[in-house]
Amino acid sequence: MNTQILSEDLFSKIITKEASISLIGLGYVGMPIAVAFARKINVIGFDISEEKVNLYKKGIDPTKEVGNEVIKNTKVEFTSNVEDLKKAKFHIVAVPTPVNADHTPDLRPIQGASRTLGKNLTKGSIVVYESTVYPGVTEDICVPILEQESGLKCGIDFKVGYSPERINPGDTVHRLETIIKVVSGMDEESLDIIAKVYELVVDAGVYKAESIKVAEAAKVIENSQRDINIAFMNELSIIFNKMGIDTKSVLKAAGTKWNFLNFSPGLVGGHCIGVDPYYLTYKAEQLGYRSQIILSGRRINDDMGKYVVENLVKSLIKSNISVADAKVAILGFTFKEDCPDTRNTRVIDMVEELKEYGITPLITDPVADSEEAYHEYGLTFNSMEEVRNMDAVILAVAHNEFMKLTDEEISSWFNPLNQNKVLLDIKGVLDRKTYENNEYKYWRL
């Protein structure tokens, strides 16, 4: 087999803008990558959503990852026309990889992207996947689709690689440019070119993984590790609450030791930490191994919404407030602070659990994508002004806007006729001593 199928000057053509790269999937991960590369080389930004592409063309950043001004000035060629992919020789696939209701991997987005790309793939191209997958997906699932749709042969007509995304949505410090980029290729030739391309934008440098499967595995365990550590914190929170000990105070004391890991209890949502572990355990079960630690952590984290509501109900009862008639407000609905994304938010678990008690909460979130929330969950948000005469308030997401609230503003949310103001601080961002007095029934993880 002739493995030298790539033009020796492919990288040269990319940096001289004779050849373009494409970015397939313009979401929270793909769009910042496209913008970063467009500062140096020609980039085709493709997404199947015409609505999203049109927003980008108008200079609007619906993800709020880089901002409207950057989008207005970027040289990315935004398109939803699949034919435009034929103009590129280096393709980066950055589509979501969610899970199904039964927690099995939902590979439809990455399979669909592979079919679309395959139909427009040309000889001498490189395809790099960034989507989080279990080891083997790139070579065993994506490559056959590319071959079938293109009529080309991997290793002869085109080559593949894998470089896991590490972008942290809403994080202004840990960005594509500042995080070491793991790269891999099917052989030395593809690995060399892939590494050189990413080095154009990643100031922190690249790490060349031994194989595509090693790179896939490295990504999927990064978030599994975080998930397990947060699950441990959540379990500690449950234990310490039973003991009447403040978990945050315990962690602050333990954190004075140099090697204590800085994790906190909380709801675990988003597209990575709450999803990636299931990709690894799914593959493990296919090989005959039933995960113990990983799935135990997942069970704890998945049950935290229910646990929070149980404690809310206990607080209402202790405050002599009727549970069935209780007016409850939830502040924050996104999966993390200062990020508009509501997909896979675990705040929805609290909403559903409250409904089991006959409570339909008022939800307010000044950051969230309200259209997305309505489409995903059928929910309509309320304004902050409507948070009045509440029996209980759950501060669920630590948006900067919420952090600026004064004690007087927080007090104004509650029904003045109640003996206690029931306040749940999920993120533990408020000063406990300020609120843990006769007026407040304050609780946090």
Catalytically active residues, by annotation = 272
Strands 421-425, 392-395: parallel, antiparallel or unpaired by DSSP? parallel
Sheet containing strand 362-364, edge to edge, reads: 362-364, 328-331, 392-395, 421-425, 440-444
Instruction: Locate 129 and state its tokens.
Output: 């996947």
- CB neighbour burial string for 426-438, b if at least 16 within 10 angstroms, e if fewer: bbbebeeeebbee
Cβ contacts of 414-421, under 8 Å, gap ≥ 24:
414/389, 414/390, 415/327, 415/389, 415/390, 415/391, 418/319, 418/321, 418/391, 419/319, 419/320, 420/315, 420/318, 420/319, 420/321, 421/393
Classify burial at 322, counting beta carbons within 10 Å of its beta carbon; exposed 0-12, middle 13-18, buried 19 or more: exposed
- H or E stretch covering 174: none
- Per the listing, tokens 């800085």 go with 262
Helix (H) or strand (E) holding 185: strand 181-185
Q: Phi first, then psi: what are they for 182, rounded to 5°?
A: -80, 130
Which among 87, 89, 100, 85 has a CA at the least distance from the CA of 48? 85
Number of Cβ within 10 Å of residue 391's Cβ equals: 24
CB atoms within 10 A of CB 350: 27
Whether residue 337 contacts residue 270, with contact meaning beta carbons closer than 8 Å, is answered with no
Could you tell me the CA-to-CA distances from 1 to 143, 155, 157, 193, 403 in Å, in that order?
17, 8, 11, 20, 61
CB contact at 8 A, 212 and 186: yes
Q: How far does CA 58 lie from the centroid of its chain?
A: 25
Report the run of H or E that residue 363 belongs to, with start and end: strand 362-364
Torsions phi, psi for 108 (to 5 deg): -60, -40
| DSSP letters for 121-137 | --TTEEEEE-S---TTH
Count of Cβ atoms closer than 10 Å to residue 292 Cβ: 9
